[in-house]
């Protein structure tokens, strides 16, 4: 069972680590932001110098006056260019970090075992890969930049205000602890609300994915209105979550606006009184009022940063929740890399249960010599498919061991093990791509000629050539544009292309008509020559020629032997044959 790895760095340090591959762009962004902040902080001081020192001197200093104005003009042209870099390259930096995280998440999802996907909804995982990471871009770009600019601006503005009129500066500084307390309290509420609305997005995505996948079933049962009502329920939950989030955000924004605007009123009141008593002149009061804007602007930016940090880190936290899941099945450090195996298989007292529940298999033991065909038969739910899922280590056995060519499968690399195994499942999955690419999935480096040969062996080549674009025909979502038999034969062609020494056929001909089934059976007989084959079959007529037939029922192997031996034993297999023959005659 997958478990969470808790031995990780603090969340914020892990987030910062994603800047490393893009560190030079990050430094450029901060340098540009720093210069922009210096220009903004310097302007009020220059303005004060122009108004208080130069202008009273009249025409005598006109040249100096306009020279300084020209420098200011150049400074703001430079500021615009720097803001272009900050906006453009900064956002690209954020996007690249988002892409890095999404790649890491997707790559990690590929490593997780079947048990993880048994418990997870597709739509929720899609939300983790997309929506949860969208706000990472804004945080990655604007977060450090806004924090850096705000701190530089606040420090610069504070120093300047203290040099201008320290009494007024103290009035502003005194308000900072109150605002910080307000931000801390509201940020926690924002975090909870943000997480809730992200969770509801995942639920909605899962609902949409399920509804689209099951659209044909809904129409068949005339349950379109029922599906709409289910979706509306989830949609309303999203509205409620979003409403709560915006309510908290509104309180936060309104509170910060109050604090920042009331400072202007306080400075006008205190400064006006000081002007009345002659303790400050008009130019100094005007200059100081400019710095109030320079002081409150970064405070607003910090407030926005707090909101951005909340949303971004909530998404990042949900991202790390998946990344921190340790795969249930992993290679050992000293795992052996298998070459092409002969195909000797042995199950030794294997016991297995899903998620620590009741055992599905108990003390299963049998062996298959290389090149032999073994059929697994029995009632549905007896454990046949589970046996075949244990061989490639899709699940880990609870007790006992499975060997291939004498090697315990737990001691070999999963890649080398699964490379030696080909699986054709009853529930065929085709990707929304071309016929050619779906077949090529069996061996991605295969040539077009090899793909065509595999299709011919699977008796699907003629059908493909009659399709609108031949091998370049799109099969649609999950192969919806093809018939059941065509989908099955394309999946069989994948195995012909892979050409593994071990085959697992899970009702591989179940979707084929009798004539095509006969052709495919012949092709499988050719492919099986010299290869170990496990066949799961409900149609017993397809496994009469198997070298060994194993009857699985209620967690155990209850009998095994050839077709003739089992018929003569008149046990469960014989009863299954009689029941099936009676049904077919009927």
Summarize pLDDT for 64-74 with one digit per residue, the tens.
777 888 888 88
Q: What is the mean pLDDT of residues 224-242?
A: 75
Angle CA(82)–CA(299)–CA(258) in degrees, nearest 5?
Answer: 135
Q: Bigger pLDDT: 170 or 203?
A: 170
- Measured between alpha carbons, how far is 308 from 95 in angstroms, rounded to an integer? 15
The residues spanned by each domain of the chain are 3-326, 331-420+532-586
Answer yes or no: are the C-beta atoms of 361 and 384 closer than 8 Å. Answer: no
* Cα 387 → chain centroid: 30
Strand order in the sheet with 532-536: 421-424, 502-506, 532-536, 373-377, 548-553, 556-561
- Measured between alpha carbons, how far is 494 from 423 in angstroms, rounded to an integer? 9
Q: What is the mean pLDDT of residues 355-383?
A: 85
What distances in angstroms separate CA 575 from CA 541, 545, 555, 556, 566, one per listed residue?
Answer: 14, 18, 19, 17, 10
pLDDT at residue 373 tops 60: yes
3-state secondary structure of 354: helix
pLDDT reported for residue 408: 92
pLDDT at residue 214 tops 70: no
- Structure token digits, residue 476: 């649609």
Q: Bigger pLDDT: 377 or 63?
A: 377
* Residues ≥6 apart with Cβ < 8 Å to 305: 142, 143, 146, 147, 150
CB-neighbour burial class of residue 458 (10 A; exposed 0-12, middle 13-18, buried 19+): buried
Answer yes or no: are the C-beta atoms of 335 and 412 closer than 8 Å. Answer: yes
Domain 331-420+532-586: CATH class, spelled out: alpha beta
- Measured between alpha carbons, how far is 567 from 556 in angstroms, rounded to an integer? 19
pLDDT reported for residue 1: 46
- Provide the pLDDT confidence category of residue 241 given band limits of 50, 70 and 90: confident
Answer yes or no: are the C-beta atoms of 424 and 441 closer than 8 Å. Answer: no
Closest CA to 314 of 189, 208, 207, 203: 189
Question: What CATH code would you report for 3-326?
Answer: 1.20.1560.10
pLDDT reported for residue 386: 87
pLDDT reported for residue 8: 66
C-beta atoms surrounding 568 within 10 Å: 11
- Structure token digits, residue 202: 């995942």
pLDDT reported for residue 58: 64
Closest CA to 83 of 152, 37, 148: 37
pLDDT reported for residue 349: 92
Closest CA to 13 of 321, 327, 320, 326: 320
pLDDT at residue 513 tops 80: no
Summarize pLDDT for 304-330 with one digit per residue, the tens.
777 778 778 877 888 888 888 888 888
- Provide the pLDDT confidence category of residue 234 given band limits of 50, 70 and 90: confident
pLDDT at residue 191 tops 80: no
Give the side-chain half-sphere CA count within 13 A for 326. 11
pLDDT at residue 582 tops 70: no
Closest CA to 387 of 409, 360, 358: 360
Q: Bigger pLDDT: 246 or 397?
A: 397
pLDDT reported for residue 245: 73
Q: Which of 188-192, 273-277, 518-522 has the highest mean pLDDT?
A: 273-277
pLDDT reported for residue 347: 92
pLDDT reported for residue 322: 83
pTM confidence score: 0.69
Report DSSP state, residue 409. G
* Residues ≥6 apart with Cβ < 8 Å to 566: 549, 551, 559, 560, 573, 574
Q: What is the mean pLDDT of residues 385-414?
A: 89
Summarize pLDDT for 494-503 with one digit per residue, the tens.
888 888 899 8
3-state secondary structure of 553: strand
- Structure token digits, residue 276: 């009345």
Summarize pLDDT for 523-569 with one digit per residue, the tens.
667 667 778 989 887 777 777 888 888 888 888 888 888 888 888 88
Q: Bigger pLDDT: 176 or 333?
A: 333
Angle CA(454)–CA(429)–CA(446) in degrees, nearest 5?
Answer: 30
Pairing mode of beta strands 3-4, 502-506: unpaired
pLDDT at residue 3 tops 60: no
Answer yes or no: are the C-beta atoms of 447 and 436 closer than 8 Å. Answer: no
- Measured between alpha carbons, how far is 229 from 224 in angstroms, rounded to an integer? 9
Closest CA to 193 of 233, 132, 131, 242: 242
Structure-token match 């090697």, residue found: 407
- Residue 346, strand partner residues: 367, 403
Summarize pLDDT for 115-155 with one digit per residue, the tens.
777 777 766 777 777 777 777 777 887 778 778 777 877 77
pLDDT reported for residue 158: 76
Summarize pLDDT for 412-438 with one digit per residue, the tens.
998 899 889 888 877 777 887 888 888
Q: Which of 7-21, 102-116, 455-469 has the highest mean pLDDT?
A: 455-469
Give me the percent of the chain exceeding a pLDDT of 70: 84
The answer to whether the Cα torsion of 134, 135, 138, 143 is positive or negative is negative
pLDDT reported for residue 221: 56
pLDDT reported for residue 403: 92
* Residues ≥6 apart with Cβ < 8 Å to 358: none
């Amino acid at each position: 069972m997958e478990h969470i790895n808790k031995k990780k760095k603090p969340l914020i340090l892990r987030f910062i680590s994603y800047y490393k591959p893009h560190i030079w762009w990050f430094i450029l962004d901060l340098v540009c932001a720093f210069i922009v902040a210096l220009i903004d902080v310097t302007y009020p001081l220059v303005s004060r110098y122009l108004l208080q020192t130069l202008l009273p001197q009249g025409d005598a200093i006109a040249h100096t006056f306009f020279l300084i104005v020209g420098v200011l003009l150049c400074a703001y042209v430079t500021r615009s260019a720097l803001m272009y870099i900050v906006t453009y390259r900064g956002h690209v930096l954020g996007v690249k970090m988002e892409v890095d995280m999404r790649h890491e998440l997707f790559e990690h999802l590929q490593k997780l075992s079947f048990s993880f996907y048994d418990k997870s909804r597709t739509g929720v995982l899609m939300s983790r890969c997309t929506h949860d990471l969208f706000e990472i871009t804004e945080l990655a770009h604007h977060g450090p930049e806004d924090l850096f600019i705000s701190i530089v601006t606040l420090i610069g503005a504070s120093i300047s205000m203290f040099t201008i009129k320290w009494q007024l500066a103290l009035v502003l500084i005194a308000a900072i602890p109150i605002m910080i307390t307000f931000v801390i309290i509201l940020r926690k509420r924002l975090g909870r609300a943000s997480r809730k609305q992200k969770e509801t997005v995942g639920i909605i995505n899962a609902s949409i994915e399920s509804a689209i996948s099951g659209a044909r079933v809904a129409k068949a049962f005339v349950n379109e209105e029922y599906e709409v009502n289910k979706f509306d329920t989830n949609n309303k939950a999203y509205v409620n979550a979003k409403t709560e989030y915006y309510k908290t955000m509104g309180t936060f924004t309104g509170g910060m606006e109050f604090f920042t605007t009331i400072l202007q009123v306080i400075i006008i009141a205190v400064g006006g009184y000081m002007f009345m008593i002659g303790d400050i002149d008009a130019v100094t009061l005007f200059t100081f009022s400019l710095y109030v804007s320079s002081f409150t602007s970064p405070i607003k930016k910090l407030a926005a940063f707090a909101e951005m940090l909340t949303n971004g880190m909530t998404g990042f936290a949900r991202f790390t929740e998946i990344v921190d899941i340790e795969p249930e099945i992993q290679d050992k450090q000293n795992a052996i890399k298998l070459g092409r195996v002969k195909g000797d298989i042995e199950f030794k007292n294997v016991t297995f249960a899903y998620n620590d529940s009741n055992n599905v298999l108990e003390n299963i033991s049998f062996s298959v010599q290389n090149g032999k065909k073994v059929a697994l038969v029995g009632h549905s739910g007896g454990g046949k498919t589970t046996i075949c899922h244990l061989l490639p280590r899709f699940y880990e056995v609870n007790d006992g061991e499975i060997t291939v060519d004498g090697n315990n499968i737990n001691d070999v690399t999963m890649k080398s093990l699964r490379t030696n195994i080909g699986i054709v499942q009853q529930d065929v999955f085709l990707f929304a791509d071309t016929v050619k690419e779906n077949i090529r999935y069996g061996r991605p480096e295969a040539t077009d000629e090899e793909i065509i040969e595999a299709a011919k062996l699977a008796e699907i080549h003629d059908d493909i050539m009659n399709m609108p674009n031949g091998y370049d025909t799109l099969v649609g979502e999950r192969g919806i544009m093809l018939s059941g038999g065509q989908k099955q034969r394309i999946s069989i062609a994948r195995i012909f292309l892979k050409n593994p020494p071990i085959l697992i056929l899970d009702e591989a001909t179940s979707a084929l008509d009798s004539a095509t089934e006969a052709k495919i059976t012949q092709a499988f007989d050719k492919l099986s020559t010299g290869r170990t084959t496990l066949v799961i079959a409900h149609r017993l007529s397809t496994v009469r020629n198997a070298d060994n037939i194993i009857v699985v029922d209620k967690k155990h192997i209850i009998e095994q032997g050839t077709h003739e031996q089992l018929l003569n034993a008149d046990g469960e297999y014989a009863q299954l044959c009689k029941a099936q023959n009676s049904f077919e005659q009927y």
